[in-house]
Amino acid sequence: METFDGREWLLTNGLGTMASGTVGDARTRTYHGWLVAALAPPGQRSLLLSHLEATLVVAQDSWPLSTNCWADGAVHPQGYRQLQTFAREPVPTWVWQESDWQLTRQIAMPHASPEMAAAGQGVLVRYRYEGDRPAVLRLRPLIGDRNLHHQQHMAPDLRFPQIVGSQWACFQAQRPAILGTPWHLTWTRGLYTPEDSWYLRYRYPEETQRGLADQEDLFCPGELAVRLAPGETVTLGAFVGLASAPLTDPCFDQAVAAEAERLAALFAPVLRSPHPYLEARRQLCCASDQFIVHRTSIQGPTAIAGYPWFSDWGRDTLIALPGLALTTGRWELARGLLETFGSYCRDGLIPNTFPETDADPIYNSLDATLWWIETLGLYLEATQDWDFLATQYPTARKIYKFLTAGTHYSICVDATDGLLGWNAPGVALTWMDAVVDGYVVTPRRGKPVEINALWYSALAWLRDWAERLAHRSHPPAPALLNQAAHYRHQAAQVEASLQKFWNRSQGYLFDGLAPDDSRNAQIRPNAVIALSLFHCAFPATQGRQILAIARDRLLTPYGLRSLDSSDPDYIGTYAGDRFHRDRAYHQGTVWSWLIGPFVRAWRRFYPDEPLPFDWQPLLDHLTSQACLGSVSEIFDGDPPHAPQGAIAQAWSVAEILRALELELS
């Protein structure tokens, strides 16, 4: 490669552990590493193995194949210049080559079961040599023991003692009064020589651009020298815990085959039928599975919001759930996610973030609660699982009571119009949730439009559910029939009150009604969300006008802008330090997940007109930009709409997968 390729790759294991890096093989983020282990799945993610520095010796020639960025601006060595090809599937594969030799490296991450907890999670790396003469491959592990978000620095009191066996070495960092995570490196062949050295001042260019700490020191515990005849391989494994069974040559192919079989079994039912975007759907299905993880603190499934830095968030999971689980036919997963979140309902709120071990959930979201009801309704419509409804209806009823009477953050229903609002300064309770040092970037206190559209849909769901449950007994249960009548009456009130959001002069919806009853007339995509829900209270004449404006002023090839580009508050580029990035987050930045609501709303209000959207740019992004095989969190509002934010985002993947399904209809 003449120039360095900074596109990224990602592997995950179903418990939160991940491996990631770049096509050009340099680490450009703090988050890059080959074993970033979830020690309390999916939390407490810690970098243990950064990478292997590789040097190939053929006769008298020595070829350093790694690529590293350093604090002084140097890039050395420049192994990417010998890098000929990269392939993402079936596993990330690099091929370095000169005239008389070729070296292939592959990385695989075995899928882990919930019972594995931390121990046993790991990554496999295989090298294959081809050439005219035998060679020696020298591999130097660069290791650490630090939090996913931080960097490690050499210190006199940080040590990495090791125990070395015939084909393995065990490591455990030591600090004063603190023991790190025990893990081990194992190999199928070669001679390992322990040593004690530091590689100082690696630099991570992506963190430099984000205005964050960007330097790290990594420890090298030794070198593995492997003699390879043409056609021979060596396989290494890095695993959490102490060394157990020795590594064997077939283990790599077995792990790759097992993962292929697992994914085929998961998605074969939905990929059998022909589809104009069949290959894209296959890749999106595989990408969707990367976000599904088991959380040990709740002994249930959850979903990582995005890689590499997000954990599992309630709002993101519930918005993504239809695409991750319903579109893909994973009914048990959908039920498990809904059950998990429902079981943590407190004071009428669904948590937005889950606890680490022995910690309380955080309930700083209003829309997560309403998305739980909406998603439960979609699950029930898809499965007709009315027994599950009977178990979840008490939770839905509890939510209704608390939202109506009032709960945290002064959340309550306004008795005069039936609309749902909140009034707590300094917090952001909707998906537009950026807060910078106490400053709420998009203040939406009062009655946001999509919140009240969700509230209307929730009342309609509750009405339908109460009626259905009432008729499960003979004669019908009077209490449930009374509840259904009450929901019906309240839904009618909210339907009428939603007209307060209609901005006749713009032909659009006000984004919110403030506590002082002032109206926010900014053109934002929340109006589109309001049109996309299962139960929609807005008439066709209004829906068509809203979508026409959204098409002309918000729609881009990668999703919807979060703010009209002609607005004085619009920021077209997501860049700079955290303060500047968070200010731009919802002020024009494109969110790809919003293409899902737009497509659903368009199909509802313009059923006979073609979708005014070309899928190809997003599909090209999926296959050849940013994180190969996944979809970025956000894009710049201004052309060419460069991908930004998290490199792989759950609701981006899920909503595109869900929207593509509508192409069949």
Q: Residues 6 or more apart from 28 whose CB is under 8 A from it? A: 6, 22, 69, 204, 205, 206
Q: Quick count: other Cβ atoms within 10 Å of Cβ 437?
A: 7
Predicted confidence (pLDDT) per residue in 57-66, tens digit: 999 899 999 9
- C-alpha pair distances (Å), 608 with each of 319, 325, 543, 588: 27, 28, 15, 30
Q: Is the dihedral of CA 258, 312, 452, 417 positive or negative?
A: positive
How far apart CA 134 and CA 231 sit, in angstroms, is 10
User: Residue 644: pLDDT above 80?
Assistant: yes
Cβ–Cβ under 8 Å, residues 31 and 53: no
Query: Which residue, among 521, 517, 540, has the nearest Cα to 604 in the 3D structure?
Result: 540
Q: Which amino acid is at 440?
A: V
| pLDDT exceeds cutoff 90 at 91 | yes
Going through 229-318 in order, the beta strands assigned E by DSSP cover 233-240, 292-295, 300-303, 306-307
pLDDT on residue 298: 82
Residue 665's pLDDT band, with cuts at 50, 70 and 90, is low
Confidence of residue 273 (pLDDT cuts 50, 70, 90): confident
- From the CB of residue 188, how many other CB atoms can be counted at a distance below 10 Å? 19
**pLDDT by residue (tens digit) across 488-528?**
999 999 999 999 999 999 999 999 999 998 999 999 999 99
Query: Looking at the predicted structure, is the pLDDT value of residue 51 above 80?
Result: yes
**In this predicted model, what pLDDT tens digit does every residue of 92-147 receive, in sequence order?**
999 999 999 999 999 999 999 887 766 789 999 999 999 999 999 999 999 999 99
pLDDT digits (tens, 9 = 90+) for 276-315: 899 999 999 999 999 999 998 888 899 999 999 999 999 9
Q: How confident is the model at residue 275 (pLDDT cuts 50, 70, 90)?
A: confident
The residue ranking higher by pLDDT, 205 or 243, is 205
Please give the helix or strand (H or E) that residue 91 lies within, else none.
none
Mean pLDDT of the chain: 95
DSSP labels, 145-163: EEETTS-----TT-B--EE
pLDDT over threshold 70, residue 356: no
Q: Given this model, what pLDDT does residue 276 score?
A: 86
| Predicted confidence (pLDDT) at residue 12 exceeds the cutoff of 90 | yes
Dist. CA 460–CA 374, nearest whole Å: 10
pLDDT classification of 79: cutoffs 50, 70, 90:
very high
Q: Please report which confidence band the pLDDT of residue 42 belongs to, taking 50, 70 and 90 as the band edges.
A: very high
